[in-house]
Amino acid sequence: MKQDKHILMKRNERLCRAGKLSAADWDKMASRAEFLMSGQQFGCSESVLLAFQETFEDYFPESAVAMSSAFRGGMGGAGCTCGALAAGQMALGAFFGYHGRADGEQNPEAVKKARALFCEMHDRFRETHKAACCRVLTKGMEHSSPERKAQCARLVKAAVLMAGGIIARESAELA
């Protein structure tokens, strides 16, 4: 039980810290993700999670970045859900998702709210970019082409800003 309380306290700290970030802080974080993606070292999903990890060091373990590797290239190269979008969803989950035993019984209202936030990001991403599917977002672009790399870097930046905007809005009252 002591560990469970610790997990909930950490989540509240994370939300308070996020609520104190300015729009310029979120933009800097998004630009960092874009840079990581452009630098050929990281994929789309990894770049998004690395930017969150660098900003919220204690709350995003390295294993989160490793797990996000499965999403690059639209679910491991399958071309499905955009990896940047999937990683943005992971970031939202770290703030608003169900934390298992630490949360105790699932609160139906909290689950409903979290799902609404996840859906909000997905729908906004799809509306803004006309798709949420990697193969549609990168149609006609060679996998390693500069054109595709630039497109993915833009999507990475957008995903961080979208997730960050939702996190900032929802956590502002806690700051």
Greater pLDDT, 134 or 79: 134
Identify the pLDDT of residue 50: 94
In angstroms, how far apart are the furthest CA atoms of the chain? 53
Greater model confidence, 66 or 159: 159
Q: What is the mean pLDDT of the chain?
A: 85
Whether 155 and 141 have beta carbons less than 8 Å apart is answered as no
Q: Cα separation of 23 and 101, whole Å?
A: 34
Token code pair at residue 147: 């054109």
- C-alpha distances (whole Å) from 167 to each of 14, 45, 56, 71, 153 are 10, 18, 12, 21, 21
Q: What is the DSSP string of 25-72?
A: HHHHHHHHHHHHHHTTSS-HHHHHHHHHHHHSGGGS-HHHHHHHGGGH
**Residue 109, amino acid:** E
Q: What's the pLDDT at 99?
A: 67
The torsion of the CA quartet 46, 92, 174, 98, rounded to 10 degrees, works out to -120
- pLDDT at position 72 is 85
User: Which pLDDT tens digit goes with each residue over 44-88?
Assistant: 999 999 999 999 887 788 888 888 888 988 888 888 899 999 999
Q: How many domains does the chain have?
A: 1
The string over 162-171, giving b where at least 16 C-beta atoms fall within 10 Å of a residue's C-beta and e elsewhere, is bbbbbbbebb
Domain assignment of residue 11, given as a range: 2-174
What would the mean pLDDT of 140-167 be, rounded to a whole number?
94
Which whole number is the average pLDDT over 152-173? 92
**Given this model, what pLDDT does residue 100 score?**
63
Task: Tell me what pLDDT residue 59 has.
Answer: 76
| pTM passes above 0.85 | yes
| Per-residue confidence (pLDDT) for residue 1, from 0 to 100 | 44
Residue-wise pLDDT tens digits, 15-24: 677 778 888 9
CA 80-137-51 angle, to 5 degrees, is: 80
